[in-house]
């Protein structure tokens, strides 16, 4: 349950671990014979030759891996090629995965082109004056913000395997574009989930237009105010509904298919590489959606012609969680479990997309049956629905499932199941045995704690626990999480704590993150970039100003001391910290 008072705590010792990539370190060269071939045909063509050799019509940019120990230093293998912006050049989830600088460069160029198409598509739902004429605008626009942030996260070393992430981005875009164009083509086949989303969007728009028409036709002055309020309500709810129903189509149906297709097409043939090796990247994307929702807020308010305060700040989470029966964090965990099932049950299903001789993506998901696999998963609970979320269990089922298991057995469960159990235990009031089981799951997850907490959300976990259990959770996060999670995730947590009123436990969380991280100076700079209106001559000092504004007492002193003693920190403008 929510805590309004923080538990007393001591100043934590730093257990930071540097996880950001070192772009100055080059990967080892491949064997001489491969170097000669690469020199003759070029890096991208070389990758294409290897990909065709292993995958035929598959992703023509994916190279083959040189097998070795999955936990080998990536730098010592030929699988990390050049300087792609990876999160950790030494200890990724599996060093047998190939990550190639040339391939990444080609993919990010394609992703930027896709982003431009998304922006043009969204603009097409406005009239010549920039006014809204089609409620499909809302999802199309927020989707462009998601893609923009996916690219930005890739460029900022947020992911272990940025090429994999970008391939998924490109497939998500194709699935949506195929269905959008089909819906606008009379007689064309549209996949059922997108037909449902587009038709519900049209109905939401019609309800809004009818409400405004009624308001304008209202003759009774006493009823005019009520009619105006109804029109405003129908418009705001209609916009959220249109965005949320498309998110359900995208998350429940398209994401798991794209994730499975990309893995089957380009990674399954790599020796000792498994689909779950990519879970850490999938679970570290929460900041992408936070930033997209933040960007969408003023855009939605402007298009609806309503004050920005009437549009919930985190548009996606608010509308999905409280109005339309879905929860973004839980939905994403469910999506990954669904994607794993697709990959396991249909390992040969590479989807409708391939590449032509020029390297362009070809294929159309609406031109053949691409729904039978996901609709026929052997576990009925994994089959997606537009009306109901996955039944992944509640807190009672979590207790029933885990009560007879040892800690070792809990730790051996698939990471995504542990995330789902944690999400279930956080839903509603988390009391008594719920809190104890949360801690037990986390303590059992020593081998993959960062991925599990990323998926369950550290802020949500701290919000849910009270008293001594909260203190125990706090120490787990200090000792094993804050210093090891991605820099973008650390920034996301700090921002979530500092946006709006900051509770005492949130002040502790901010201070714990800043003190624990080895890259705390870079983090403060990013805080400054996130709050550009703060006073300060540069991003670092704006970040300092924001921290000063939000923190007090012991938390302020801890951050002050950590930054003062950090040799990478610039001098304070005033000669005094703060």
Is residue 568 classed as helix, strand or coil in its secondary structure?
A: coil
Closest CA to 59 of 364, 363, 353: 353
Global confidence as pTM: 0.84
Give bridge partners of residue 362 from the DSSP assignment.
354
Question: pLDDT: is 195 or 566 the higher one?
Answer: 195
Q: Which residue has the tokens 């120990």?
A: 69
- DSSP-derived letter for residue 242 is H
Average pLDDT over residues 448-476: 96
Closest CA to 280 of 93, 491, 481: 93
Which residues, including other chains, have CB under 8 Å from residue 141's CB and lie 6 or more apart?
122, 296, 299
Q: What is the rounded (10 degree) CA torsion for 162, 163, 169, 173?
A: 160
pLDDT at 400 over 80: yes
pLDDT at 311 over 80: no
Instruction: Give me the pLDDT at residue 150, please.
Output: 97
Which residues, including other chains, have CB under 8 Å from residue 326's CB and lie 6 or more apart?
244, 247, 248, 320, 389
pLDDT at 371 over 50: yes
User: What's the CA gap between 4 and 542, in Å, rounded?
Assistant: 28
User: What's the CA gap between 246 and 319, in Å, rounded?
Assistant: 12
What are the domain boundaries of the chain? 1-19+483-578, 32-192+243-381, 393-478
Task: Read off the pLDDT of residues 502-549 as tens digits, 9 standing for 90 and up.
Answer: 999 999 999 999 999 999 999 999 999 999 999 999 999 999 999 999
Which residues, including other chains, have CB under 8 Å from residue 142's CB and lie 6 or more apart?
243, 292, 293, 295, 296, 315, 316
pLDDT-based confidence at residue 444 (cuts at 50, 70, 90): very high
């Amino acid at each position: 349950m929510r805590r309004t008072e923080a538990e007393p705590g001591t100043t934590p010792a730093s257990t930071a671990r540097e996880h950001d990539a070192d772009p100055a370190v080059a990967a080892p060269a491949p064997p001489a014979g491969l170097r000669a071939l690469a020199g003759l045909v070029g890096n991208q063509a070389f990758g294409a030759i290897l990909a065709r050799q292993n995958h035929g019509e598959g992703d023509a940019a994916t190279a083959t891996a040189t097998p070795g120990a999955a936990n080998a230093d990536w730098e010592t293998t030929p699988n990390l090629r050049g300087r792609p912006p990876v999160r950790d050049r030494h200890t990724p989830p599996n060093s047998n995965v190939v990550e190639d600088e040339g391939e990444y460069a080609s993919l990010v160029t394609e992703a930027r082109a896709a982003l431009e198409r998304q922006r043009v598509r969204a603009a097409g739902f406005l009239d010549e004056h920039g006014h809204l004429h089609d409620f499909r605008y809302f999802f199309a626009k927020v989707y462009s913000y998601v893609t923009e942030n996916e690219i930005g996260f890739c460029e900022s070393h947020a992911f272990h395997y940025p090429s994999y992430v970008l391939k998924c981005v490109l497939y998500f875009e194709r699935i949506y574009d195929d269905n959008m164009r089909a819906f606008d083509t009379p007689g064309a086949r549209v996949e059922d989930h997108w037909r449902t989303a587009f038709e519900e969007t049209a109905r939401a728009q019609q309800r809004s237009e009818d409400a405004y028409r009624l308001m304008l036709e209202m003759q009774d002055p006493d009823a005019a105010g009520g009619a105006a309020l109804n029109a405003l309500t129908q418009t705001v709810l209609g916009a959220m509904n249109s965005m949320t129903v498309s998110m359900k189509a995208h998350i429940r149906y398209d994401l798991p298919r794209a994730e499975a297709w990309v893995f089957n097409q380009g990674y399954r043939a790599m020796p000792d590489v498994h689909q779950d090796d990519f879970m850490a990247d999938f679970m570290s994307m929460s900041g992408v959606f936070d930033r997209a929702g933040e960007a969408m807020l003023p855009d939605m308010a402007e298009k609806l012609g309503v004050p920005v305060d009437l549009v919930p700040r985190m548009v996606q989470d608010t509308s999905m969680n409280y109005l339309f029966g879905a929860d973004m964090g839980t939905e994403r965990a469910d999506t990954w479990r669904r994607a794993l099932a697709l990959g396991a049950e249909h390992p040969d299903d590479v989807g409708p997309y391939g590449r032509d001789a020029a390297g362009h993506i070809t294929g159309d998901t609406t031109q053949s049956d691409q729904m039978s696999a996901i609709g026929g998963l052997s576990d009925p609970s994994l089959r997606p629905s537009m009306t109901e979320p996955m039944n992944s269990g509640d807190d009672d089922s979590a207790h029933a499932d885990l009560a007879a298991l040892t800690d070792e057995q809990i730790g051996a469960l698939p990471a995504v199941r542990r995330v789902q159990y944690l999400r279930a235990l956080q839903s509603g009031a988390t009391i008594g045995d719920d809190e104890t089981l949360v801690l037990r799951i986390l303590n059992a997850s020593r081998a993959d704690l960062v991925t599990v907490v990323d998926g369950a959300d550290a802020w949500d976990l701290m919000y849910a626990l009270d008293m001594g259990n909260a203190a125990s959770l706090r120490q787990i996060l200090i000792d094993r999480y804050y210093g090891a999670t991605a820099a973008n995730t650390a920034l996301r947590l700090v921002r979530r704590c500092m946006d709006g009123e900051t509770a005492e436990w949130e002040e502790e969380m901010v201070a714990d993150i800043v003190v624990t991280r080895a890259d705390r100076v870079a983090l403060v700079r990013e805080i400054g970039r996130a709050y550009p209106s703060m006073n300060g001559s540069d991003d670092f000092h704006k970040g300092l100003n924001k921290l000063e504004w939000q923190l007090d007492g012991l938390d302020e002193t801890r951050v002050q001391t950590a930054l003062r003693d950090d040799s990478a920190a610039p001098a304070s403008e005033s000669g005094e910290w703060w």
